[in-house]
Amino acid sequence: MARLWPMALLLLVLCGLTPLHLVTAQAGSVARKAPEARPAPAPLAEHFDNAGISDDADASAADLDGTGRSLSAAALRRAGWGPGQRLTVHRTRLTWPDTVPGEPDNAVADGQEVRVSGRGDALTLLVAATGGTATGSGRIVYADGTSDTYTLTVPDWVTGPHPTKAVALPYANSPQGRIERPVLLYARTVPADPARDVARVELPRVADDAARIHVFALGLRAPTSRWTGTWSTSTSGYTAVGPWEDQTLRLAVRSTTGGLGARVRLDNTFAAEPVAIGRVTIALRRHGAEAAHTPVPLTFDGAPGTRIPAGGQVLSDPAMFPVPAGGDLLVSIHLPEAVTAAPVHTAVTGTNYVTAPGSGDATAAAGADPFTGTIATWPFLTGIDVLGGPGSVVALGDSITDGVGSTPNANRRWPDVFSERLRSQSSVPHYGVLNQGISANRIVTDRYSGDGVSTDTGGVSAPHRLERDVLAQTSAHTVIVFEGVNDVRHTGTTPQQVTAGLAEIAARTRAHGKRVLVATVAPCGGFRDCTDEVDAKRREVNAFIRANGRAGGLFDGVLDFDAVLRDPSAPERLLPAYDSGDHLHPGDAGLRAIAESIDLELLRAPA
C-alpha cells in the first residue's frame, strides 16, 4: 500500500488537487477559512470623500478637481441648488448634499456600494467629471441577488457640452479668485428593471486614472404604471419673455386619452435661476381662454405653489379631475415674481393667453376677461398625465410633427390625427400620444446651444433631448422617430452622421425597454434648398432606415412616410394633394395620410 501512495498523489495533482486538498480529505481536521463578512451598503452621504463646494470667501476649503478649483456655494444657492434642496430631474426625485462648504459633499466613484431601495425604471445620478470626460462601469444589484451592469459616461465639468447639462453655474472658485467661465453639473440615467426591488448600487469604476466621476446624489426614477401621459411638449429654447410679474398664463392643450385624475409637469429647463410658481389650476375649456367651469386648483407636495430650481422640474399632486379623451384643457399658472426669460415651446399651431402686468392671480377665473393678451409659446408646461390608462406613444420629430403646414388652432397635426384614430378603434389600446416635435430640429446638430437666452427655438438635437423628451415621459412604451430632413438639407451634415444618430437613438431607447419605430424622411423637392444633392442624401438615409426595420435590425419597425407622401411621377417631391404649398411641409391631407398609414400592430410588444 505504501508504494501506491506516490501514484495516488500524482493522480490527484493531475486532477487539480494539491496536497492540502489531500490532507484535508484524508484527515478531515483542517479548518476551512470562514468567508469574510460583507460590509452592509451605506447611504451615499457616508461615502462622500471629496469636498467640491466652497464659500466664495474661502475658496481654498474645497478642491473638486485636484487643482484647487471648486463649485461656488453662493452660485448653487442662486440656482436653487442649496444644501438639502429637493430636486426633480428626468422625473427622478433627488436631494442635493446637505453639507456646509468645505465638508465632503461628493463621492469619487470607485465601486462603492451604496444602499438604495425600491423600484424604478432608471437610476439617475447627479454627477460631474474632472480631468476630462470619464467613463466607468458599475452594477445595480437587486434584492433577489440578480444584477445589471451599467456603463456611465460623464462629461467634464468645465469643457463638457451645454445641451445635456442639468445646470450651469456662471463661475468656479479657486484660491486665486473666481474663474469666470461656466461650470456644469449633469444628470445621467441608466436603465433599471422596474419589476425588481433594488438592494444596492455599485458606483462605476473609472479605468482612466486621470479622470474622475464625482457623484453628488442618486435615486431611482419611480415607475409610472398608474399614470399615462395624455399631452406633452418639448422645451425648444430659452427666450426673453414679457417681462411677466404678478401675471397669469393660461395655456390651452388637448388631451389624447382620458382618466379620472390628472397631474401636470412644469419644467425650468435651460434656466440659470429658479422660478416661483404661485398657483396652478386645470379646467375644461369652453372657448378661447374661457373655462367650462371653475378651475380645479393643483398643489405641489400639499402646497398651493412651488419654486422650480434652475434645470429642475416639478410634478403636481394628483387631482381628482376627470379628463375626457380628446378634451380641450386650460392650465393656468400664476407667476408672482418677475420673469424675464423662460423655457418655452413655440406654439406653431396654438394660441395661449396672459393677463396684464400686475393683475395678480387669475388662475381661479372661469371667464376669459382677465386674459387680455395672447402668446405664441407654451412656457414651463411640458406635460399632463391622467390616472390609469394603457401608456403612451411618443412622436419625436421636427416641424412636420410639430404642425407646420397644418391648419392653425385646429389640432390637425399627424399625432392629433393618429390619436383620433386610436380612440376610434379596438384592435389596440387607446394609447396617449405625446407630440415631441420641434420646428427646425435636427438629429446631428443643435439649433439652440443649450445655455443662455436665445431667439432660436429649434431645440437641442434629438439625441441630446432624448432623455428628457422620450425616456422620462410618463409610461411611454414606443417612440416614433420622424426626423432627418433638416439634417440632409444642412450642407455640413452627411448621411452617415444622420444614420449614426438614428442608431444611437434606437440603442438608447431600446436599452430602456421601449420600442423604436423609425419613419423614412419625406421628400422636399421644390423647396428653396432641396437640391438633387439633398435628395440623394435623403434617399441614402431612407435606404438605411428600411434595411434596419427587418428582423434583427436596429429598429422594431419602419413607417414608410416617404412612400405615402411622395409623388409617384416625381418621387423627389410631395404629392401635390399632400403639399401645404411650400413643398417641404405636408398640409392637412398629407398629415392625415401618414397618420392613417401607421400599422397599429407595430405598437404591440412581442409576446
Q: Which grid coordinates belong to 526?
A: 421644390
Which amino acid, residue 437?
G
Q: Which grid coordinates belong to 260?
A: 379620472
Residues near 450 by beta carbon (within 8 Å), at least 6 away in sequence: 161, 162, 163, 164, 165, 270, 460, 464
Q: How far apart are the first and last CA of the chain?
A: 65
Domain containing 574: what range?
Answer: 390-607
Please say whether the dihedral angle defined by the alpha carbons of residues 89, 95, 100 and 102, taken in this order, is positive or negative. Answer: negative
Q: Are 113 and 41 in contact (CB under 8 A)?
A: yes
- Cα distance between residue 377 and residue 244, in whole Å: 14
Listed residues 187, 221, 255: the one ending a domain:
221
Which has the closest alpha carbon to 520: 472, 562, 486? 562
Residue at 117 is within a domain? yes
Label residue 13 left, alpha or beta by phi (over 0 means left) and psi (-120 to 50 means alpha).
alpha
Residue at 24 is within a domain? no
- Cα distance between residue 17 and residue 21, in whole Å: 6
Residue 535's pLDDT is 98
Q: Are 605 and 514 in contact (CB under 8 A)?
A: no
* Model confidence pLDDT, tens digit, residues 574-607: 999 999 999 999 999 999 999 999 999 999 866 5
Residue 40's pLDDT is 86
Provide the domain count of the chain. 3
Residue at 484 is within a domain? yes
For residues 352 and 448, state if they share a domain: no
Q: Which grid coordinates belong to 28?
A: 478531515
The rounded average pLDDT for each run of 10 residues, N- to C-terminus, in the chain (607 residues) is 34 31 30 55 98 97 97 98 98 98 98 97 98 97 98 98 97 96 98 97 92 98 94 98 98 97 98 97 98 98 98 98 97 98 89 97 98 96 96 98 95 97 96 98 97 96 98 97 98 97 98 97 98 98 95 94 98 98 98 98 77
For residues 397 and 533, state if they share a domain: yes
What ranges in 73-131 are assigned the alpha helix state H?
73-78
Which has the closest alpha carbon to 129: 218, 61, 79, 64? 64
Listed residues 333, 362, 384: the one ending a domain:
384
| Paired sense of beta strands 328-335 and 247-254, if any | antiparallel
Residue at 316 is within a domain? yes
For residues 460 and 341, state if they share a domain: no
| Paired sense of beta strands 275-277 and 392-397, if any | unpaired
Listed residues 384, 411, 442: the one ending a domain:
384
For residues 342 and 203, state if they share a domain: no
For residues 301 and 370, state if they share a domain: yes
